């Protein structure tokens, strides 16, 4: 069963890992967000693609939610001592990946080709595609100004209320090679429990991706990123309250605007009415077994 999963970082990567575990090898394609990519110390960092790669390779730090397990921070400390920027924490092991990617980008290789090589280096059967090879950056509009995503999220600890989210470069971006084809050939499409504004929004903003999902003849299932109306991690509940008017399943479903055949919600959000069929399950993925269980529920809803 060929499945395409659109995913952001931390929460999305947990479902991706579950899908990867329960599907036959090679049946999963992940389309990842690049809107929160950032340049730090001259290195190109793709946090969401990296969260997916690290989770699939079993290299991720479960506790922190991003970056690698058994990480050390000596490079960052040394860079700080030389007067370098240290607002965005790059671990020593993590830096290795950014060095390899940045060198290849400078050589002119597309991000999709680089990501394919990185996935091959850790022998992943799952295909990981950036939504686009073009430069697309999420910007956060607040009353204090407009900030790059990481500047707001990490630098300002996502404390400013968000008035709007914009996707710089989206209008002229094209889907990365393989994205539209994977959506066209999929037996099911899954929208991971990622922040709709800043993780899935930038993917939908690439012309051709939402349209390809709209054209599908297969089921499209989303997993709500909220549990009991609260974000498991991050600012989504505040963003939804301010920009969509609430944090019920109906508010989550409204973001996907006619694309969904079902929304998987946590038992803590049921009963509810969302204008789409709801599947009630336990959606907290606090270990690998929970990721597999939720992936199984999603795949049942998708068939």
Question: For residue 138, how many other CB atoms are within 10 A of its CB?
Answer: 27
Total residues contacting ligand FO1 by CB under 6 A comes to 18
Q: What is the 3-state secondary structure (H, E, C) of 73-88?
A: CHHHHHHHHCCCCCCC
68-97: contacts with ligand FO1 (CB under 6 A): 88-90, 94
Rule CB under 6 A: choose which of 7, 9, 132, 147 binds ligand FO1.
Answer: 9
Q: Which residues contact 107 (CB under 8 A, 6 or more apart)?
A: none
Write down the least CB distance from residue 55 to ligand FO1, Å.
11
The separation between the first and the last C-alpha atoms of the chain, rounded to the nearest angstrom, is 10
234/302 with CB nearer ligand FO1: 234
> Whose CB is nearest to ligand FO1?
9
Q: Does 47 bind ligand FO1 (CB under 6 A)?
A: yes
Interaction between residue 60 and ligand FO1 (CB under 6 A):
no
E runs forming strands in 153-232: 164-168, 188-191, 219-223, 226-227, 230-231
- Under the binding rule (CB under 6 A), the answer on residue 16 touching ligand FO1 is no
By DSSP bridging, strand 188-191 and strand 3-7 are: parallel
Quick one: how many helices (H) and strands (E) in the chain?
12, 14
Nearer to ligand FO1, 68 or 301 (CB): 68
* Residue 148 touching ligand FO1 (CB under 6 A): no
Q: How far is the CB of 79 from ligand FO1 (least distance, A)?
A: 13
Residue with tokens 């393989």: 178
Using CB under 6 A, pick the residue from 5, 18, 30, 66 that binds ligand FO1.
66
Helix axes 236-244, 249-256, angle to 10 degrees: 80
- Decide if residue 199 touches ligand FO1 (CB under 6 A): yes
Residue placing its CB nearer to ligand FO1 in the complex, 199 or 281:
199
Which span (123-131, 149-157, 270-278, 289-297) binds ligand FO1, by CB under 6 A? Answer: 149-157
User: What's the rounded Cα separation, in Å, for the pair 302 and 167?
Assistant: 29
Contact region with ligand FO1 (CB under 6 A), list: 119-127, 137-145, 146-154, 269-277: 146-154
What is the C-alpha separation between 9 and 66, in angstroms, rounded?
Answer: 8
Q: What are the residues binding ligand FO1 (CB under 6 A)?
A: 8-10, 36, 45, 47-48, 50, 66-67, 88-90, 94, 150, 153-154, 199
């Amino acid at each position: 069963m060929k499945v395409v999963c659109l995913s952001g970082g931390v929460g999305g990567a947990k479902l991706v890992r579950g899908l990867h575990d329960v599907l036959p090898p090679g049946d999963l394609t992940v389309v990842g967000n690049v809107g929160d990519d950032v340049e730090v110390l001259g290195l190109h960092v793709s946090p969401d693609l990296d969260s997916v790669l690290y989770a699939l390779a079993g290299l991720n730090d479960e506790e922190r939610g991003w970056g690698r397990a058994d990480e050390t921070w000596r490079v960052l400390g040394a860079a700080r001592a030389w007067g370098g920027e240290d607002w965005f924490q790059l671990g020593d092991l993590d830096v290795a990946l950014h060095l390899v990617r940045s060198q290849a980008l400078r050589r002119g290789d597309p991000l999709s080709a680089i990501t394919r090589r990185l996935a091959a280096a850790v022998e992943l059967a799952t295909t990981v595609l950036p939504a686009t090879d073009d430069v697309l950056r999420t910007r956060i509009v607040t009353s204090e100004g407009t900030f790059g995503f990481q500047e707001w999220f990490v630098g300002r600890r996502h404390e400013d209320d968000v008035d709007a989210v914009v996707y710089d470069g989206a209008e002229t971006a094209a889907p990365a090679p393989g994205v539209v084809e994977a959506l066209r050939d999929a037996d099911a499409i899954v929208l991971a429990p990622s922040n709709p504004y800043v993780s899935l929004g930038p993917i939908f903003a690439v012309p051709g991706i939402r349209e390809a999902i709209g054209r599908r003849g297969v089921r499209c299932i989303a997993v709500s990123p909220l549990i009991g109306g609260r974000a498991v991690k991050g600012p989504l509940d505040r963003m939804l309250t301010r920009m969509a008017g609430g944090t019920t399943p109906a508010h989550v479903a409204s973001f996907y605007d006619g694309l969904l055949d079902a929304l998987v919600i946590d038992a803590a959000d049921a009963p509810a009415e969302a204008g789409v069929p709801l599947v009630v399950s336990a959606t907290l993925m606090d270990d690998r077994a929970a990721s597999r269980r939720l992936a199984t529920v999603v795949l049942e809803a998708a068939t």
